[in-house]
Amino acid sequence: MFMKKYLAIDIGNRKTKIVLGGIEKDKIVVDNYFITDTPTGIMEDGKITNLNGLIAMLKDSLKKGKIRGKHLVMSITGTGIITRDIQLPKSTDEELEKILGFEAQQYFPVELDNYILDFKVLEEIDSGDGVFNRVLLVAAPVNQVDEFMKVHKRLNKEIEAIDIPANNICKVLFGEAYVGKELNGKELPHEFAVLDLGAKTTGVYIFSSGKLKFSRILLNGSGDIDDLIASQLNVDFSKAEEIKIMVGNLIADDDLINPNSEDAKISNLIKPAVNNLMSDINRFIEFYNSRSTGNRLDRIFLCGGGSKLKGIDIYFRTYFNIPVEFLDPQKFVLYKGHKKMEEFSEDFVLLVNALGCLVRS
């Protein structure tokens, strides 16, 4: 059977990622991708605020990237989207849908008429008194989803799905039908966290035995470092980002002979923003560790553009006191595009969320 190709779009606060690809055996196959700046003012907290601007940017990107593909999958996020992790007696998807039709309201503090509901079975639990499904419930505001549903029409595509980052990350790591499956020889540790360090947000995803146990999206990110540089050095935000990327190095003051060098000064300047982020992440990790005595993270995997900050892996490792690595593209992806493999490998950390959109049964 030939594989179905999907066109994945992840509109980040800073960068928009477009990927064309599908699944071959247990690997994600990427045929083509394109990354561009998300213009200011077209998205706000995951909501489309300027549809015309968004469509213009996407059309331009598809053209520049020479990306075809008909079957669109979009990533959606934002503080308006509410998730709940609940347990229900083991049932089929059809039965779950019926149960939730009656019972969903009790799980959400909002008027559900204004929301679109979806769910995903995360795991089967065989407890003493029966078999349960642990279910991730998702409620997305109707008006937010409605704007997303206009995109495919304007691009003359078909919409296949709109998915959230937590599910996308799961699918990159474990595939679509990850419930009850072994880890497909990807040799992931027993308990680990994936941190998606974005520009304005940081996704915290904790896994145990191949199951998503915890997910949160924090409202700080790599852009906090730009803000700090901008205010301290009195430069604009794009200059500040450039300084972060070119000179920012979290371990410069340890390694350099001259602790008074410019690099060491920048390193010390940006640390408060990174420390702040780490302590917020740590609160979630400690919460997770405290929920059960067996919970203890073995490793942290980093992705997102913010993970490209020099020295961040070593800095995180020192703080969290566990091994910190970058997600390894070769474990998950077969790149068949025309760009150099090194370029794709560099870009991979930015693409993770979009890559999850390609994984569909």
Ligand X SMILES: Nc1ncnc2c1ncn2[C@@H]1O[C@H](COP(=O)(O)OP(=O)(O)OP(=O)(O)O)[C@@H](O)[C@H]1O
Residue numbers of the site for ligand X (CB under 6 A)? 12-15, 198-201, 221-223, 241, 244-245, 248, 304-306, 308-309, 350
Residue 198 in contact with Mg ion, rule: CB under 5 A: yes
Which entry of ligand X, Mg ion, none binds 245, CB below 5 to 8 A by partner kind? ligand X
Pairing between strand 158-163 and 191-197?
unpaired
Q: Could you tell me the smallest distance in angstroms from the CB atom of residue 215 to ligand X?
A: 14
Residue 12 in contact with Mg ion, rule: CB under 5 A: yes
Q: Could you tell me the smallest distance in angstroms from the CB atom of residue 245 to ligand X?
A: 4
Pairing between strand 158-163 and 15-24?
unpaired
Distance CA 222, CA 49 (A): 23
Which entry of Mg ion, ligand X, none binds 71, CB below 5 to 8 A by partner kind? none
Q: Could you tell me the smallest distance in angstroms from the CB atom of residue 220 to Mg ion?
A: 13
183 phi, psi to nearest 5 deg: -85, 15
Nearer to ligand X, 248 or 329 (CB): 248
Distance CA 203, CA 298 (A): 18
At residue 239's C-alpha, the angle toward residues 233 and 241, to 5°, is: 95
Q: Could you tell me the smallest distance in angstroms from the CB atom of residue 296 to ligand X?
A: 28
Q: What's the token pair of residue 157?
A: 């595509």
Nearer to Mg ion, 12 or 141 (CB): 12
Q: Could you tell me the smallest distance in angstroms from the CB atom of residue 159 to ligand X?
A: 21
Q: Could you tell me the smallest distance in angstroms from the CB atom of residue 353 to Mg ion?
A: 6
- Identify which of 75, 83, 79, 82 has the alpha carbon closest to the alpha carbon of residue 162: 75
- The stretch among 4-12, 104-112, 136-144, 288-296 that binds Mg ion (CB under 5 A) is 4-12
Which entry of Mg ion, ligand X, none binds 271, CB below 5 to 8 A by partner kind? none
Pairing between strand 43-44 and 47-48?
antiparallel
Whole-Å CA distances, 134 to 39, 127, 211? 39, 12, 10
Which entry of Mg ion, ligand X, none binds 14, CB below 5 to 8 A by partner kind? ligand X
Which entry of Mg ion, ligand X, none binds 210, CB below 5 to 8 A by partner kind? none
- Identify which of 16, 101, 110 has the alpha carbon closest to the alpha carbon of residue 59: 16
Which entry of Mg ion, ligand X, none binds 199, CB below 5 to 8 A by partner kind? ligand X
Distance CA 78, CA 67 (A): 27
**Dihedral of the alpha carbons of 245, 250, 253, 258, in degrees to the nearest 10:** -20
- Contact footprint for Mg ion (CB under 5 A): 12, 198
